[in-house]
Structure 1
Amino acid sequence: MAKCAFLGLGVMGYPMAGHLVAQGHEVVVYNRTAAKAEAWVAAHGGAMAATPRAAAEGADFVMACVGNDDDLRSVCLGPEGAFAGMAAGAIFVDHTTVSASVTRALHDVAAETGLRFVDAPVSGGQAGAENGVLSIMCGGEAAAYEAAAPVMAAYGRTIRRLGESGAGQLAKMVNQICIAGLLQGLSEGLHFAERAGLDIREVVEVISQGAAGSWQMTNRAETMADDRFDFGFAVDWMRKDLGICLDAADETGASLPVTALVDQFYKDVQKMGGGRWDTSSLIRRLRATG
């Protein structure tokens, strides 16, 4: 059993922190909106704290799953940030999808004060978090990763260190790049089937068993056919992630023409009022214009 703090109780963090308790870890939570932390404690036990620093005091591991670069800095730094409450040797595990640059900067700040930092963004969506089967891509020192991996196993099915600080975030960018292009292709395929007068469900049943099959097709084709988009990862967050990918591509010299195009398609979805729709809502854009 480890003493853990969990910072950020959104659609991902809330169940992830719950899995830590279920595995016998001692957990203190912090959330910017205290009512969410109160609800979590009522559901799972554990304790809540008024600041990241208070949550982190005495913790062996401090996990975070917040919104963006600025949110991560705010829970880490400053007199009430988690770093101020952590003891030397404690490990900060960041599950937020952020830029590799902020990850490396916070890793260096942590190291200067005797702390360890693992970037560990996740994939698998809300369902993966609720079922404890997330894929977790990690960067940081090997010893810190090896210490944190058994704790992350409470909510992760595939956990792997991919390199030094920032490598986990770079791998998550690869994940989002792949998803963006795949979802646009799936949206176009299903839209074509509709316009051609085919039964989407019958088509998907056949092609999902061949080379066109994917997780997105298995889990989203039916809801896309039903024009339902209240599942999984929101368009607003996907645009934040794709912005990170495109910025990193400029830095590395990588060419991401499809990613840039799909990012603009998601911008169109936002203009339709779909910022909180899930990422499969690309098909609604086609239905509106096709």
Structure 2
Amino acid sequence: MAKVAFIGLGVMGYPMAGHLRVKGQHEVTVYNRTTTKAEKWAEHYSGSFRQTPREAAEGCDVVFCCVGNDDDLRAVTTGPDGAFHGMKKSAVFVDHTTASSEVAQELAAVAKESGFSFLDAPVSGGQAGAENGVLTIMVGGDEEAYDTAKPIMDCYGKKIGLMGPSGAGQQTKMVNQICIAGLLQGLSEGIHFAEKAGLDLEKVIGAISGGAAQSWQMENRWETMRDGHYEHGFAVDWMRKDLNICLKTAGEIGARLPVTALVDQFYAEVQAMGGGRWDTSSLLARMKKADN
């Protein structure tokens, strides 16, 4: 049992913090920008909440965080009343935000100077993975800090690995998003083709999902895509944020991502359709709109 804090109670952070309290039986203090949500969490899970990230972090062995982007992360760490101002020596700060590798390296350096550790640890698995405690966690940072934090992350992580030094976790998440973007466009085109050809889509998916075309997206999204149901899952707005990070980093390291750049523009079209909060599988909706 450890004394931990969790900063950011969005659709991911709320259940992740809950697993720390229920499954891990840890002493958990939370902070959220909207205090009412922190109060609700504390009441539901018999935990506690604080009014600032700094207060939440004070005295904790490990502090977890899951916010929106680089600017949000800086605000809750090094900003006024940020968690870094309350971290004790030898503690570990674990950031689950999908952010840039640059901000991970920046904050890791600040943490080191202050006598504690920083791990960039973005996650994959979506809201369902967070709620069910089966997330994949890609970690960058020092092995000693990783060894300290991993047993606690086991509360909500199914597959957890140290990818390399600071920034490597975020870069691995970029690979994840690059692969998903191309896969979803391919799945959208496949479903579109099957429907245009007059095929029985259920039979098609049944035939190909057991072979080389199989994917999590195919098995879990083909029915909702067929039905035009996208009010769930990982939002297009967040995917575009992630892909912009991928494309910016690709330019810096000399990697070529032509398909990713194209799919990013397709997602921009989905946003223009009013689908910013739709699931990323809504690429098919763009194709169907073009038919009308």
After TM superposition, the score normalised by the length of structure 2 is 0.98
- How far, CA to CA, are the matches of 2:118 and 2:79 in structure 1? 17
Shift of 1:35: 1.4
Shift of 1:205: 1.1
Indicate the larger mover: 66-75 or 79-88. 79-88
Calculate the aligned-residue CA RMSD, in Å: 0.7
Q: Which residue of 2 aligns with 1:6?
A: 6
- How far, CA to CA, are the matches of 2:227 and 2:194 in structure 1? 14
Shift of 1:79: 3.6
- Please give the per-residue CA displacement for 1:147-191, whole angstroms capped at 9, x wherever unaligned: 100000000000000100000000000000000000000001001
Shift of 1:196: 1.3
Please give the secondary structure, in 2, of the residue aligned with 1:24: coil
- Please give the per-residue CA displacement for 1:266-286, whole angstroms capped at 9, x wherever unaligned: 000000000000100000000
- How far, CA to CA, are the matches of 2:217 and 2:289 in structure 1? 22
- How far, CA to CA, are the matches of 2:262 and 2:191 in structure 1? 19
Following TM superposition, the consecutive aligned residue runs of length 4 or more in structure 1 with deviations greater than 2 angstroms are none
Paired residue type of 1:243 = N
Shift of 1:231: 2.0
- How far, CA to CA, are the matches of 1:31 and 1:78 in structure 2? 15
Paired residue type of 1:59 = C
Q: Which residue of 2 aligns with 1:33?
A: 34
- How far, CA to CA, are the matches of 2:110 and 2:82 in structure 1? 12
Paired residue type of 2:253 = T
Q: Which residue of 1 aligns with 2:145?
A: 144
Shift of 1:195: 1.4
Paired residue type of 1:167 = A
After TM superposition, the score normalised by the length of structure 1 is 0.99
Spell out the pairing of 1:148-187 with structure 2 (5 A cutoff): 148-187=149-188
Q: Which residue of 1 aligns with 2:135?
A: 134
Please give the secondary structure, in 2, of the residue aligned with 1:162: strand
Paired residue type of 1:7 = I
Shift of 1:193: 1.1
- Please give the per-residue CA displacement for 1:24-60, whole angstroms capped at 9, x wherever unaligned: 1110000001111112112211001100001001110
- How far, CA to CA, are the matches of 1:200 and 1:34 in structure 2? 46
Please give the secondary structure, in 1, of the residue aligned with 2:29: strand
Q: Tell me if 1:110 matches 2:115.
A: no
- Please give the per-residue CA displacement for 1:187-241, whole angstroms capped at 9, x wherever unaligned: 0100111111112222111110111110000111111111111221100000000
Q: Which residue of 1 aligns with 2:15?
A: 15
- How far, CA to CA, are the matches of 1:85 and 1:263 in structure 2? 39
- How far, CA to CA, are the matches of 1:62 and 1:278 in structure 2? 30
Please give the secondary structure, in 1, of the residue aligned with 2:164: coil
Q: Which residue of 1 aligns with 2:280?
A: 279
Paired residue type of 2:4 = C
Q: Which residue of 2 aligns with 1:67?
A: 68
- How far, CA to CA, are the matches of 1:48 and 1:190 in structure 2? 47
Q: Which residue of 2 aligns with 1:55?
A: 56
Shift of 1:263: 0.2
- How far, CA to CA, are the matches of 2:106 and 2:211 in structure 1? 44
Q: Which residue of 2 aligns with 1:42?
A: 43
Please give the secondary structure, in 1, of the residue aligned with 2:210: coil
- How far, CA to CA, are the matches of 1:190 and 1:77 in structure 2? 47
Spell out the pairing of 1:226-241 with structure 2 (5 A cutoff): 226-241=227-242
Note the residue ranges of structure 2 that are not aligned, 5 or more in a row: none
Q: Tell me if 1:95 matches 2:83.
A: no
Paired residue type of 1:28 = T
- How far, CA to CA, are the matches of 2:143 and 2:199 in structure 1? 52
Q: Which residue of 2 aligns with 1:200?
A: 201
Indicate the larger mover: 178-187 or 202-211. 202-211
Question: How many pairs does the alignment contain?
Answer: 290
Q: Which residue of 2 aligns with 1:256?
A: 257
Note the residue ranges of structure 1 that are not aligned, 5 or more in a row: none
- How far, CA to CA, are the matches of 2:267 and 2:238 in structure 1? 10
- How far, CA to CA, are the matches of 2:216 and 2:205 in structure 1? 12
Q: Which residue of 2 aligns with 1:81?
A: 82
Q: Which residue of 2 aligns with 1:123?
A: 124
